[in-house]
Structure 1
Amino acid sequence: MVYGGKPSTGCHLCRKRKIKCDEGRPGCRNCGVYGRPCPGYRPDAVFRNETRKTERLVRKDVSSSSSDSDSQHTTTPSSPTDPGVIDIRRGNRTQEHSLTTIQIADSTWEHRALCYFFDQYTISAEFEDGMSHLEYVPNLYARALELNDRDWKASSSCLRYAVDATSLMTFANISNAPQFAMKARQGYGKALRNLRDALAEPSTAVQDDTFAAVVLLSLYEDISGERNGLYSSHTAGFEFLMKIRGEGQLESQMGRDMFNFAFTHTFVEILALGDKPRYDIDWVLSFLDSNDPIERLMLAASKISSLMSAINSSSKPPDQATVESWISFGRECDFELSQWTLHLTERWLPLVVYSSQGDELLTYNRISNAVVWNYYRAARIMLQQLLLNLNRSLLAIVKKKDKRGASSSIQSPLNEDSLRAIIQEITTDVCRSIPFSLGDVDTLGRSIRTTDGNWTIRAAQGNGLLWPMWYILSCGMPTPEQVSQIRTVFSRVGSKLGIKLALTLDREAERIRGGSGATEAPESATELRVGSR
């Protein structure tokens, strides 16, 4: 027996089941979801067996667990060489992590998938300086499980199916087990049918369970990579539910968290894909708190959508005065966005550090802060591109007037070289933050090398990197080296965290760029067409 270093600090049951414990006090929530009381935690000083028998015992446990599941007519891998079982000898971090989920024989495959999903996608505000992610889902799910047939509600049922489907799809992707993906798609279909029933009744449509189910179903699309192109099929559902739930949804922290998730989801499509809001956005903005850094950023970025909406709704080619007014409004938007950084507390500000190789990096107090900063940078790049296009359109109008003999002496109100310089500077800052955002370095820029090869970021954090990176890659002006850095993010998030949306965005960005790797951005969707008059 040898001292094995710092032991796991999880509770006894989580350690027995080989899952990550959230170490809540007095008991962890995994035990509550599992349906057992938390047995508590062990003392600091422990010893453990480090013999070479461990690997053989793990493989034996996986094999026996598969046999037991087969005898119960469940679809599971049957041997360590089956595609659904991860060999402990492989070095991949995600595979090792999934092995710890697979190997325990005292729970079903579905429950292992559920625990892995909760570990990777639910983040407590307590550990992220108030920025939680789906923290409310485990409690809602546990409550839904307690309902019997007499208390059955469509909203609770669709939530259960949505959570189960999303966790199974997550598990299928990280363990390369297509049989779980098939079960996940079946659960997704059941969740959609129950969601329709829940939305049909006003009393259940406004329930938290219903809203949470749509949140999970939208996440399922990202994990499975089964969006309709780059558009989510649940955006309209979010818009409908935000409206009918009204101001009352913000009275609880859970309601506000769901609202922020839905608003961000819909806004990504409005900004990144040039879509138009299908609802009155002003009443939504009135709910946002300007004292909160994230909600203040939402308020500032929302003005970009107002400008895009005005441009896209124009039924005829704009005249000079109209384009000039759009440019003026765009410059006001950019000023307000730039002010966002000036009102952040110290814990939000990036830190300039240097790697062991001497590279200048940006790090943050939390990875979640880096995610928010990248959304800010993507919004500013988007606005600079919009101003570039407006400026080109204005110059084209003036040129046409000159050809017709009209007296029009106007100088461009914008310096295009300055706009491009801002885009390139912001793109550089994004790339300097990538090593920290991927968990490769700590706050001081020191390389992180875990003894077990595990990746230090959660899937929820990796998912948050995708849309800003996609816009910067497809519509910004990255250098070839920066293109390679950003594509590495998509590759790692897609392969190691099992979020297939990353691979879809990578392919779409390359399609937009034409595979040329050019440093000049392609024409924007908001490029104005100046027609003859």
Structure 2
Amino acid sequence: MPNTGKPSQDCHLCRQRRVKCDLGRPGCQRCVKYGVECTGYRDQTELVFRNANPSTVKKRKKRTAKRDDAEANAASSSHSSGSTTPAASTHGELSSPPIFSHSTDLIPNPKRPDSLWVTLPPSLSEHWTSHSVPILLNVYSTLDFLNNAYRANPRDGPLVWAAHLFSRTYVTNIRYPTSMHKDSEAETQRELGTYLGRTLSSVGAALKSSQGAFRDDVLATVWILANYELLVGSLSRMEPLSPWHLHARGLYSLLKARGNALLYSDAGRTAFWPCYNMVQIQALVSNTECPPESDEWLGIIRNNLQDGEAYSLHVSIFITKCAHVQARILAILRLCDFRAAESEYQTLVSQFTEAEEELDEHLAASNRYSHDLDSYMNNLYSSAIVKGYHYIQLLANFLTHYPASKLSLEDLGAQRARCLQKTRRAAQDIINSVPWILGPLACGKDKSPKVLFDAMKMIWPLTSVYVLSTTLPEQKSEAEAALIFIGKEIGVRQALNTYPGRFPLPLEAEQPLGVVGPDSSPWAEEVG
């Protein structure tokens, strides 16, 4: 029978979202602003005629009732799992999607091979962008900082675009070999470029405000951008100027602009730690000093210590001193300055070893494995040991070529042996943590996106074991296998990009002058 009412001519997605459609062809701009491709419009005959068969009407009512029950059950499941469900928006350009159960599955869209759907129980399929925020919050479910930022800004702003960018990249990395066609790769990159551009534009617009740097959602967005660069594996691109380095420096700029006052509040402290950890990793990777404000920031935390912070504090203090030592050694080696190498050798070695002893004293006086962050901070500490002693060995190598040096070849050889021992012991600690951190995923017990966060935290420690010459061949082999697993099975492309760039060093630092260490193997054979 003819449809005597006024059925909506809006596109499918606008009708589903209950927002006004602009009826643009071939797709409406409302969908573009929402961040998805318009799914099209109903057939015109569907708008004019409606089947009035009583049995059909009865079936339609049953389907509607079942759908309502399914949505209610999904919402109830989300609430019981502890997820926060932002309110839907009927007026804004962007609305946060509802958060469903953590058992979300990502599958290819059969109608569009370049797209993916999120399958949710019970049998409810929606385009993945409707659930990019819960996907991201699932990955970082243990990070209160990010969850708090989304809870305070659930409907719009840079965090929503960052969620689209991160989640789209993640599902693409996981599904690309089987669900993506070559023809759709360019379209995928254009889509990601749109999300990246809008995320950066939103951050830029927010920072134009005098209070922009104090917004937790802006800080969280820059932190997500840095993690996004690990997903795409960009760290090796133009190394010091790669996007990852720029985002890490952006985090430092925001922490500096926010000042010290926020460190006295619980929320400010929660936001500080993940961002400052990223800043410290950037210093270790680039062989640069930690921020000059580090002593002041860490001093405030030391004087106002909260439960669970002690170990993170002491590791961060150690990394600050380690970064200083390796940055100074690199500067000496780049200048090929033998005099400075000899005059500062003992001081630099003492600074590093004293910092290590201070941390060891703290560990001896406390339970090293008493806090949730220990696995992450343990590996961060071990990677700093690997890197720091590697550079001390390079300095000792360099001094073997200085005839006027007062340091004997025997003393330098003994230092080399100590560096090898320390480096390899710390590298083994990192290797030993792999089964515990990645084991559930490797054996198929845990396939949820939340393992991604743990895997991403392993990239830098494993890379330090793999690329530095002072670790054992079998340690390099195990680190390489773990990185390949993280890169291919978990979708973190940076794990497959294990050479973040080499700093030019004089040959004397790489190949010491014919000194034989206590292990009776020539230096040049192992280091070269």
Match of residue 131 from structure 2: 112
Greater Rg over alpha carbons, structure: 2
Matches within 5 A, 1:272-421: 272-277=285-290, 279-289=292-302, 292-313=310-331, 316-319=337-340, 320-345=342-367, 347-348=369-370, 369-397=374-402, 399-400=403-404, 412=411, 414-421=414-421
Matches within 5 A, 1:207-286: 207-227=215-235, 228-230=237-239, 231=242, 232=244, 233-277=246-290, 279-286=292-299
2:77/2:100 contact within 8 Å kept: no
- Give the Å deviation of 1:181: 5.0
1:494 and 2:487 aligned = yes
RMSD: 4.1
Query: Residues 172 and 305 (structure 1 numbering): CA distance in 2 closer, same or farther, change over 3 Å?
Result: same
- Give the Å deviation of 1:501: 1.5
Query: Residues 20 and 226 (structure 1 numbering): CA distance in 2 closer, same or farther, change over 3 Å?
Result: farther
C-alpha distance in 1, partners of 2:224/2:172?
16
Q: Which of residues 135, 140, 159 is equivalent to 2:149? A: 140
1:202 and 2:210 aligned = yes
C-alpha distance in 2, partners of 1:463/1:529?
34
- Give the Å deviation of 1:187: 1.2
Query: Residues 429 and 106 (structure 1 numbering): CA distance in 2 closer, same or farther, change over 3 Å?
Result: closer
Match of residue 172 from structure 1: 172
Query: Residues 448 and 198 (structure 1 numbering): CA distance in 2 closer, same or farther, change over 3 Å?
Result: same
C-alpha distance in 1, partners of 2:449/2:203?
35
C-alpha distance in 2, partners of 1:102/1:416?
59
2:315/2:381 contact within 8 Å kept: yes
Match of residue 52 from structure 1: none
C-alpha distance in 1, partners of 2:122/2:172?
15
Q: For residue 412 of structure 1, what is the amino acid of its counterpart?
A: D
Q: For residue 400 of structure 1, what is the amino acid of its counterpart?
A: A
Matches within 5 A, 1:125-136: 133=143, 135-136=144-145
Query: Residues 381 and 346 (structure 1 numbering): CA distance in 2 closer, same or farther, change over 3 Å?
Result: closer
2:329/2:391 contact within 8 Å kept: no
1:29 and 2:38 aligned = no
Matches within 5 A, 1:57-76: none
What whole-Å deviation, never above 9, does each CA across 1:77-135 have from its counterpart, x for those lacking one? 516xx3645xxxxxxxxxxxx86469954644202333222212232xxxxxxxxx2x3
- Give the Å deviation of 1:469: 0.7
- Give the Å deviation of 1:464: 0.5
C-alpha distance in 2, partners of 1:527/1:12?
66
Query: Residues 35 and 465 (structure 1 numbering): CA distance in 2 closer, same or farther, change over 3 Å?
Result: closer
Query: Residues 208 and 495 (structure 1 numbering): CA distance in 2 closer, same or farther, change over 3 Å?
Result: same
C-alpha distance in 2, partners of 1:321/1:466?
36
C-alpha distance in 2, partners of 1:333/1:187?
43
- Give the Å deviation of 1:22: 7.8
2:379/2:461 contact within 8 Å kept: yes
C-alpha distance in 2, partners of 1:307/1:525?
20
Q: Equivalent residue of 1:396, what SS? A: coil
What whole-Å deviation, never above 9, does each CA across 1:246-299 have from its counterpart, x for those lacking one? 112223433223221221112112113313446543333323337521121101
C-alpha distance in 2, partners of 1:420/1:182?
47
Match of residue 454 from structure 2: 461
Instruction: Compute the TM-score of the two structures, normalised by the length of structure 1.
Output: 0.66
Query: Residues 267 and 183 (structure 1 numbering): CA distance in 2 closer, same or farther, change over 3 Å?
Result: same
C-alpha distance in 1, partners of 2:169/2:221?
15
Instruction: Compute the TM-score of the two structures, normalised by the length of structure 2.
Output: 0.66
1:288/1:299 contact within 8 Å kept: no
Percent of aligned pairs with the same residue? 16
C-alpha distance in 2, partners of 1:528/1:338?
30
C-alpha distance in 2, partners of 1:194/1:296?
36
Unpaired runs of 5+ in structure 1? 1-10, 41-57, 67-76, 86-97, 124-132, 147-155, 349-364, 402-406, 442-446, 514-521
Q: Equivalent residue of 1:29, what SS? A: coil
C-alpha distance in 2, partners of 1:20/1:292?
36
C-alpha distance in 2, partners of 1:284/1:39?
39
Query: Residues 337 and 387 (structure 1 numbering): CA distance in 2 closer, same or farther, change over 3 Å?
Result: farther
Query: Residues 159 and 346 (structure 1 numbering): CA distance in 2 closer, same or farther, change over 3 Å?
Result: closer
C-alpha distance in 1, partners of 2:444/2:469?
32
Q: For residue 221 of structure 1, what is the amino acid of its counterpart?
A: E
Match of residue 140 from structure 2: 121
- Give the Å deviation of 1:37: 9.4
Q: Which of residues 182, 187, 192 is equivalent to 1:184? A: 192
Match of residue 431 from structure 2: 431
Residue correspondences, number: 412
